[in-house]
Amino acid sequence: MPNAEKVATVAELTERFQTSSGAVLANYRGLTVAQLAELRRSLGEQATFSVVKNTLTKIAAAEAGVADQLGDLLAGPSAIAFVKGDVVEAAKGLRDFAKANPALEIKGGVIDGKSMTPAEIERLADLESRDVLLAMLAGAMKASMANAAATLAALPTQMARLAAALEAKWQAEDSPAAGTDTTEDPQATTEDSTED
């Protein structure tokens, strides 16, 4: 019969699986308590890092509907980083800590319901953060809007220049034609005078 403490732990893990945007599993064997505390600080508000019991985590994963994605990862000593904030920032924090402390081995995880391998988490960590990507998108949109505005603002100016050029062309065509109408042809005058 399960005791109340285990039931509460399973309920808490189930809630974390359901409310977090991702969960990254890691092997923490060889890390000291001080290093684990440093890892938790480095993750900040982006994620919580917890050492878990595999049996209870399997039950919680089944209740949360992510058992298929995590089943093989729950072997050996396991810790889970439950991501609350930006998934990219949490992946960067874990990757950077794992580089500085090789004892931390990222096993894989689940992000937005999709199973992730350690290599995919590494690629995710290489991305810019959500805020930076949004800023880049906003900058690109602003640039295209500015280009569109400049193009639309240039249209009346171009139309005015075109109209002025056409008017100058028509005046140039009309001026020589008007000059030839008023002048008499010398041959015509000579022929008229000989007929008289």
Q: Tell me if 187 is assigned to some domain.
A: no
Check whether 196 has a pLDDT greater than 80.
no
- pLDDT at position 130 is 65
pLDDT in tens, 96-150: 888 888 888 888 888 887 888 888 888 887 776 666 667 777 777 777 777 777 7
**Whether residues 84 and 118 fall in one domain:** yes
**Whether residues 110 and 62 fall in one domain:** yes
**Whether residues 57 and 40 fall in one domain:** yes
**Whether residues 10 and 103 fall in one domain:** yes
**Percent of residues, the chain, with pLDDT higher than 70:** 85
Q: Tell me if 191 is assigned to some domain.
A: no
Beta-carbon-side half-sphere exposure of residue 148 (alpha carbons within 13 Å): 6
- pLDDT at position 104 is 85
**Whether residues 79 and 166 fall in one domain:** no
**Whether residues 108 and 143 fall in one domain:** no
**Whether residues 70 and 8 fall in one domain:** yes
* Number of domains within the chain: 2
**Whether residues 111 and 175 fall in one domain:** no
Give CA–CA dist 90/93, Å, rounded.
Answer: 5
Range of the domain at 140: 134-182
Q: Tell me if 188 is assigned to some domain.
A: no
Q: Average pLDDT, whole number, for the chain?
A: 79
pTM of the entire structure?
Answer: 0.60
User: What string of DSSP letters covers 51-119?
Assistant: EE-HHHHHHHHHHHT-HHHHGGG-SSSEEEEEE-S-HHHHHHHHHHHHHH-TT-EEEEEEETTEEE-HH
Q: Which residue has the higher pLDDT, 131 or 75?
A: 75
